[in-house]
Structure 1
């Protein structure tokens, strides 16, 4: 039976007198269904592609077996000479001769492989004299330590070529002692700089780092770019994203450092549980606390904690909780409250990074785009201030950093 319109009541009929709504509404619903299904399929495929591209790092309970190195005639010096003679030939282009070192080496501190020094060098690209940090291998290094150090050099030549990562300037492998030369970042550690910029320090004239809302977004964006580079270019994770592992220049450019976990992943594609456990629990994503496989989204969680550190000028995460209290609270959907001087947008970003399920967290490209857009409208005049006091003597205990 055909339904006809009453022309005296409505004019929403076609020439045959059939109500247009009977035709249009099903068409609209059909088109909407097709669009919705298309969007769902597209998002599902995109998520699958991201998972396939993302590095998946497995934890191993046992330490990596030590590779036995032959020592001819019981001579460690002979083994050392052989390893240096057969080292990766690509290191040759990074060699800096003693003539390129300007003045004497100035001792800085003891590093994981040996003493660290500072000196000026003549750069390999001929741009002039630059300050460099010398990470040396100590004189009594074993054959295994020498092998690891040469692997570290190769890691730096391959990985450390991004503006948001401390760059390799050169090396010295022709003779002992060996040197790895990195760019010197004159602003020092970001966490310490944040502490100095707190309101009480600034009032006393001791604040060296002055941050605006726009600066916060700029720093966060630079870090996100560096982490995206590690993930997309090299399928690595950083593993310890925190203000303590960032160096800052006077012009507010930042450099990722603390790449020891990334170096281990670079060598074996796995991470020992012992080394992974050295990262303080307050910076860890839930899957890392539970010792599940690690992906780039584990770094994303830590990036949200870093954003909290920056906007609070160096406060410890979860200041009201002891480290061992954090995970049970997270399981009950607890998240840190919005810092007093944080914008709603930045706090929403932090909470997005703190999604329990890793695949619900934003990608690096999403974070970069958001931060970049906020920079255009953010306040670049008013300096950030924090009213609450920070007892630096108790910071380590509150943050769980020992």
Structure 2
């Protein structure tokens, strides 16, 4: 199956190798490999358009929503397992399934696949049989080309042996030396196939464990013991091609005072605010609900939703602008509604090019409140990064290291402004940033984040969900927050950028995070991350808050690094 509608170049140099592998393993997988090519093409083409859609946060790149799989009944009929076998699921290709040698019993004369797509995808169908002695050219119940159905449909592939006179007893034998199939060779290849499958499953398990394990990295004693006057990192013994030997902590600070001139320690104990009090705080920015039109659902949680909406101008009904609309479902509790309104006001009244504060609210009686924010058409930064990771193999130039560093500079600029205004964010992370098609990044509040990103928050027995993996040690142990704890979270956010949205400390139990950090361990250096950039992250994770860099120093350091990257390239 070849794509007819865009992005066929996504395979790059891998296409011949995948074709050869399919030929060696099973002619029956050619159909699925054709589908793989279609999904690749769709991903490549969709990346060039603004990535917002119905399945994610402020959202990343949309996909056609393609699913191709064998139903539970079909898998049971073939290999006796009660499970579905997905080859493509929500545009994500299952390479393990494609590599699996599917042994078809001799009494089976047809295979049944279930497929559908949420949006239009055209296909062309073709087959190739490596061993004509084992199987004739396949027949299907669909035409050679057309459009993938939008609803669940069954694709039937006929499996017929040329040596069998009875269509109901067709046989498949895969013989690499082109010998006519016999009972003994069939039993032999079935046995070999079962052994290979067991070995392959063990390999998959080992690979998953390897990918999800983080090597524990102990910070260098010179970093943890150094004072703020010693800078972000010690001069490297190797020749650096990015940063100067003099460090950002020795750079000219914004103010003449030393230490943290705007350091404020706050307890993370949200006061018990009633819904009436929360509404009163935003009454001056309330607008009529009739001016807001809800369009697509960008992200949905247990009780919260984020819509792509349209706001009609109050004076000129012909003028309108796009907005994000945060709201709650009908079954949301009063506490959840109050928390959404309260957390939405975190950045209210602040004006900076890298901040996205609340714009308006709708708090009419009898209706669930709505929170409106300016629209950023590439949506949530975390979802955008993860979508970039999905298409990275197809389009490695989609997002460059220089672009990622530029994003980090913008986040640091926004946080530097908050620090000067003595505002503590407490939940800085990629999930609480948004991005547009010019790669401009803005920091948002954390309203609804606990509901929309539940895997990033954990309760440590105090009945409060907190972003444990992003929190500084003093915040975990003493519940204290300051500009220095925001610097710690910035270091983790920088790590998220360089890993394209991976979850930090994924193999560490949240209840063990405090002990893990006290022992001096930190998340490992990302692959392809320069040592100089990782040194910046490591300095953000100093145990002593006073030893961590200030945001203005981080801005200067990253700006110099960004300029050096441009000169180096």
Sort the TM-score into its range (normalised by shorter chain).
Answer: 0.5 to 0.7
**1:358 corresponds to 2:549:** no
Which of residues 417, 420, 431 is equivalent to 1:229? Answer: 417
* Residue 365 of structure 1, CA deviation: 0.8
Which of residues 431, 453, 465 is equivalent to 1:244? Answer: 431
* Residue 320 of structure 1, CA deviation: 5.8
Query: Cα–Cα, structure 1 residues 175 and 240, in superposed 2: closer, same or farther, change >3 Å?
Result: same
The answer to which of 302-311 and 373-382 deviates more is 373-382
Query: Cα–Cα, structure 1 residues 275 and 112, in superposed 2: closer, same or farther, change >3 Å?
Result: farther
Which of residues 357, 366, 370 is equivalent to 1:179? Answer: 370
2:482 — aligned with what? 295
CA deviation vs aligned residue, 1:85-114 (integer Å, no higher than 9, x gap): xx46x854x45446644x554445557986
Query: Cα–Cα, structure 1 residues 154 and 318, in superposed 2: closer, same or farther, change >3 Å?
Result: closer
Gaps of 5+ in 2: 1-249, 450-458
Number of aligned residue pairs: give it. 305
Alignment of 1:248-267 (within 5 A): 248-260=435-447
**1:54 corresponds to 2:263:** yes
CA–CA separation in structure 1 for the residues paired with 2:472 and 2:481: 9
* Residue 310 of structure 1, CA deviation: 1.1
CA–CA separation in structure 1 for the residues paired with 2:336 and 2:525: 46
Give the TM-score of the pair, scaled to structure 1.
0.62
Secondary structure of the structure 1 residue equivalent to 2:372:
strand
* Residue 143 of structure 1, CA deviation: 8.0
The answer to which of 216-225 and 141-150 deviates more is 141-150
1:163 — aligned with what? 353
Query: Cα–Cα, structure 1 residues 139 and 326, in superposed 2: closer, same or farther, change >3 Å?
Result: closer
Higher helix share: 1
CA–CA separation in structure 1 for the residues paired with 2:475 and 2:534: 23
CA deviation vs aligned residue, 1:24-83 (integer Å, no higher than 9, x gap): xxxxxxxxxxxxxxx9xx9xx8335x25x21211244xx73465x9xxxxxxxxxx7x99
**1:212 corresponds to 2:421:** no
CA deviation vs aligned residue, 1:209-246 (integer Å, no higher than 9, x gap): 9322221221111111222222222x222112222222
2:82 — aligned with what? none
Query: Cα–Cα, structure 1 residues 83 and 365, in superposed 2: closer, same or farther, change >3 Å?
Result: closer
Query: Cα–Cα, structure 1 residues 273 and 328, in superposed 2: closer, same or farther, change >3 Å?
Result: closer
Give the CA RMSD over aligned residues. 4.1
Which of residues 514, 531, 546 is equivalent to 1:344? Answer: 531
1:370 — aligned with what? 557
The answer to which of 362-371 and 114-123 deviates more is 114-123
2:381 — aligned with what? 190
Query: Cα–Cα, structure 1 residues 346 and 128, in superposed 2: closer, same or farther, change >3 Å?
Result: farther
Query: Cα–Cα, structure 1 residues 54 and 125, in superposed 2: closer, same or farther, change >3 Å?
Result: farther
Gaps of 5+ in 1: 1-38, 70-79, 263-271, 383-402
